[in-house]
A and B are shown apart, each in its own frame.
Chain A
């Protein structure tokens, strides 16, 4: 899906292409645009205009009660200055001082990045390991296992949080009961969602069922590797480790890339889990006040549309820069085998 994006430069049509259209091509274009019209209209109304409107909101002072018909009060860069000096956002290094001070609350961007750095490897390696296991020639009943590992992915988000939340309950949950059974002292069992040091692992465990989707994609990638390559490696006497790094990994790198990019974009916007689990309060100790949660509070609870839009645009720019950086690393490690079907 993402490989489409690399054709961006060639896809921009020149004006000349439109000018010299023969009549039948003109008809084809008219029909094509007619079929695309639902999306074109939707893109304009629900994507393009709102993005521009967001940018506009960030330069005015607008609260939810004003509505969009009110006369805009221009405030210049006030919202951006507020954001830079907001220790909760934490973009200004001067505000980081409070981030490192032991008693202060961490910044929302710091929380998001810290959690992201913990969750991202899990989000790639867990599905990859499961996929390798599912693809093992020694596994009996591959199809049944595949379905059963994917199945929890369709459990509604709130229900999944309750199920894992129950498992992780500090007293009645099975995980702590198992830890005590295995000999851990009752005083030492993790306090999971209530403990600053355990709350991120708690969220990662709660999101573990998301692995099913990526696992299926990776299995499909693994099955697309031509068996001749493995045969050749065997003839050359490669060990399993060499086979993985020289054949399997390059061949499935596009699939890993796809999951990596979507995980990064998703992690920057992570906030519904803390919203439900810790009621969006940032407890314990501000460790769960994610950037998007802070944005949501400004926009929805404090009804400050302008500051919300400013924060949203800042996130938009950050995500664009990061995706661009990740895409630019692709040529060093993502291998697209010859044919392009598009």
Chain B
């Protein structure tokens, strides 16, 4: 048995350890936010701080001079503007005391630090560059449209099918259910190649149809989740409704659905995140039609074009992930419940 003090120490140790791991685990978010607000100068400069900052410059005789922190002979440092840089010695002037004339400092200028000052001056321009470079509002609308249309399909079809699997008994039902579950093992390309060829033949490539239409025909995860939930609902209510003369559709609409909001919410939020993040489907079917690209595909073009501008890439990433992040914060509970059902239930 542990003493109260040992317990308290264990609590402090475990919590501190978890906090440290969490800090590392989430550090890319801090990297993204800070980088997205930096200037191009700061990105290319070695020794620049990790927070968004600008190094001051000084206007002198129509020239823009970089300001450096220069060690003085008396042991202090002074911020001086550099007139001439050199490997062995450089010349500076003191912006606050121009009459002192040129100051010569011996040593390599590369070893000097610059007096970085926190600044958000270029934050806005990074974000506006994302908006114009890929027509961000249009791409966002495309993603939103895709998410909503497929959401409608998933909700309607998966509810009907899950109801069929949970409330009717007939030979072959369990066999079909196993068939449904086993589709999660299917490598995507086996079905993609003929399906793509088919859509190509009927002229759907470049449109949203190949991505939206299949969502109206149910999928394994969402049907499983809903079926598990429906099976926990008491059958007595169904039977009472049926005695009152309700048909199966009526039972589903008036008895099952009103009791199933948590499960329906779970598949709704999952699906929105899935559609928001979907990259490969739109890449294959919409590559040829730039105007229809969702934000995920548009964002991936940054990799090549903006390789030298990480601040724009990070701004784009932030603008893309903000929506699912907000959804998660609002609807956390449904995410957690939904995952647990698919992973833990038999």
Contact = CB atoms under 8 A, between A and B. Distances in A.
A167 B31 contact: yes
A8 B171 contact: no
Contacts of A299: 189, 192-193, 196
Interface string A273-303: 0001101000000000000100110011000
Contact of A36 (B165, B273, B328): B165
B327 to A, nearest CB: 8
Given A39-B217, A156-B296, A269 B187 contact: yes
Given A220-B340, A292-B189, A29 B168 contact: yes
B346 A148 contact: no
Given A64-B197, A172-B43, A300-B284, A295 B189 contact: yes
A200 B173 CA distance: 44
Contact of A35 (B18, B163, B284): B163
Contact of A159 (B190, B223, B317): B317
Contacts of A12: 175
A177 B21 CA distance: 19
Given A68-B198, A154-B273, A38 B321 contact: no
Interface string A30-48: 0111111011111101110
Contacts of A309: 190, 193-194
Interface string B188-218: 1111111111101100000000000010111
Contacts of A149: 22, 25
A44 B167 CA distance: 23
A276 B320 CA distance: 16
B187 A217 contact: no
B137 interface: no
B342 A1 contact: yes
A63 to B, nearest CB: 10
Interface stretch (A98-106, A116-124, A135-143, A241-249): A135-143
B334 interface: no
B163 to A, nearest CB: 5
Contacts of B302: 162
B17 to A, nearest CB: 8
Interface string A136-166: 1011110001111111101111110011101
B62 interface: no
Given A2-B181, A255-B343, A272 B279 contact: yes
Interface string B1-43: 0000001001101110110011001111101100100000001
B332 A147 contact: yes
Contacts, number: 319
Contacts of A323: 185
A38 B161 contact: yes
B294 to A, nearest CB: 10
Given A166-B35, A213-B339, A279-B304, A305 B197 contact: yes
A162 B325 CA distance: 16
A18 B171 contact: yes
Interface residue tally of chain A, by bracket?
35 or more
Given A11-B175, A151-B325, A39 B32 contact: no
B292 interface: no
A122 to B, nearest CB: 14
Interface residues of B, number: 105
Nearest to B319: A159
A31 B248 contact: yes
B153 to A, nearest CB: 9
B242 to A, nearest CB: 11
B174 interface: yes
Contact of B168 (A7, A32, A46, A68): A32
Chain A contact residues: helix, strand, loop or mixed: helix
B28 A163 contact: yes
Interface string B308-346: 001001101110110011011000100110011011111
Contacts of B305: none
Contacts of A341: 231, 345-346
Interface in A206-225: 208, 213-214, 216-217, 220-221, 224
Contact of B316 (A2, A155, A162): A162
A266 to B, nearest CB: 10
Interface string B157-187: 1001101110111111111111111111111
B148 to A, nearest CB: 17
B142 interface: no
B322 to A, nearest CB: 10
Nearest to B176: A36
Contact of B224 (A1, A173, A217): A1
15 contacts: A1-B342, A21-B171, A39-B218, A47-B191, A57-B193, A150-B335, A156-B299, A162-B299, A166-B313, A213-B339, A216-B340, A269-B187, A308-B189, A315-B187, A320-B185
Interface of B: 7, 10-11, 13-15, 17-18, 21-22, 25-29, 31-32, 35, 43, 46, 50, 156-157, 160-161, 163-165, 167-198, 200-201, 214, 216-218, 223-224, 231, 248, 273, 276-277, 279-280, 284, 295-296, 299-300, 302-304, 310, 313-314, 316-318, 320-321, 324-325, 327-328, 332, 335-336, 339-340, 342-346
Of all A-B residue pairs in the complex, the 4 with the closest CB atoms, nearest first, are: A42-B217, A32-B168, A35-B164, A217-B343
